[in-house]
Amino acid sequence: MVFSSITFLFYFLPIVLAIYYIVPNRIKNIVLLVASFMFYAYGEPTYVILMTFSIVLTYVFGIFINKYRKTEYSKIFLIIAIICSVGLLVYFKYTNFIIKNINLWLKHKIDFIYVVLPIGISFYTFQMMSYLIDVYRGEANVQKNILKLATYVSLFPQLIAGPIVRYTTIEKQLENRTHTFQKFALGVRRFIIGLGKKVLIANSLGKLTNIFLHGNEMSILYYWLYAISNMLQIYFDFSGYSDMAIGLGRMFGFEFLENFNYPYIAKSITDFWRRWHISLSSWFRDYVYIPLGGNRTSKIKWIRNIVIVWLLTGLWHGAEWNFVIWGVYFGILLIIEKLFLSKWLEKLPGVFSHIYLLILVMISFIVFNGESNSQIVKNIGGLIGYGSIPFASAESVYYFKSYFVIIVIAVVGATPLCCKFASSEKLKKIFNIGEPVFLFILMIICTAYIVDGSFNPFLYFRF
């Protein structure tokens, strides 16, 4: 089940909200737990068993890690728990990738196994690992109520595509959270805006990228249309989902941390990753980079730490070499910036450092979306006319005219300009009055698009 579906918007969510607010506080978590399992089972009923097994393992190991705190046994239990969690993730996500490369490199003929990637396994595995590590470090209290732990792991607003919500963020909220009309209204507002970003912008740009990938007539203009649409689609798809998740969380009394902060206004790769998928980059920072020594070590080890983190970041996104290349690409860029380039970027006029960032990120998402190395090289080369292709063609001009408005809207929407405009003291009263009408109309338009359209994927479901 996806948020941008009629089933979710007009059946599942209203029923769950009604039941949730009718029942007394002491069983609200149980309502959320049952709803979350139903939500997950709607798409993959078999893998509810896997998630339940993972939750039980996490619960048991958390108890033992806490019981033997400050002893060697606590560390042993943590290591076993992480091996189990990572082992399940590797089996379901990377087994055939490993087999494929063994067959390729060692000339073996190992048969592939039939395994379907459970939706959201990368997200909920990282949440459970962060919980166990925080319990081991003494930064989180062990949860002795398995139902509350299960609610945390399976919470449907963020279950299948994040953001990665740490246990410490909502630990107190699981026990006691406030429900106010203002918080609910803010949640509805955030959800509808996220829905609009996903349905009206990401899906529209996704159609253009699909047309490009399945078309034959190419030109420089066509390649640039693809590259720009692709990077904007990925942003609005994922940030739209994060907005919807944060909004849903508020409707149920939870306060999730922000996951995006206008990453395309950054002026360096370092700044970009402080703004893009914040929950993932901070997870790797706190649970991999810093434990490895971070930057408080020799330069060689520091470079090693960055390479390890970004190799894992790439692999986390998918079991294909383009994701590995994508991760290493960013790791190399970050090393270059931290060694010397950041000092030069600070001296440049802001427009040049901003262009530098956008071009490198645009190329990164061509790699991210590439189905083969040859296709990646072809798509990047097409930006500069590699292969003696024309600057424009009748087809590319047609699509440029057709998608120009939506691209402009997406470019503006990827910046804080709208928020600054809306927060102007002179216009604040007008927006306060007009916003409910705007949100209602936006919801109607999104519904019409969902009913009318068939192209409605969530890119991050595969992670």
Q: Which residues are catalytic?
A: 317
DSSP 216: -
Query: What is the b/e burial string over 102-123, where b = at least 16 CB atoms within 10 angstroms of the residue's CB?
Result: eeeeeeeeeeeeeeebbbbbbb
Among the residues of 197-298, which ranges form H helices?
203-213, 220-251, 269-275, 278-284, 290-292
CA 386 and chain centroid, separation: 33
Structure tokens at 382: 């097409």
Q: Please, is 240 exposed, middle or buried when counting C-beta atoms within 10 Å of its C-beta (0-12, 13-18, 19+)? A: buried
Mapped onto helix, strand or coil, the DSSP state of residue 274 is helix
Separation of alpha carbons 211 and 284, rounded Å: 35
Measured CA to CA, the distance from residue 77 to residue 246 in angstroms comes to 33
> Are 97 and 319 spatial neighbours (Cβ–Cβ below 8 Å)?
yes
Q: How many CA atoms lie within 13 A of 380 on its CB side?
A: 17
> Hey, what amino acid is at 19?
I
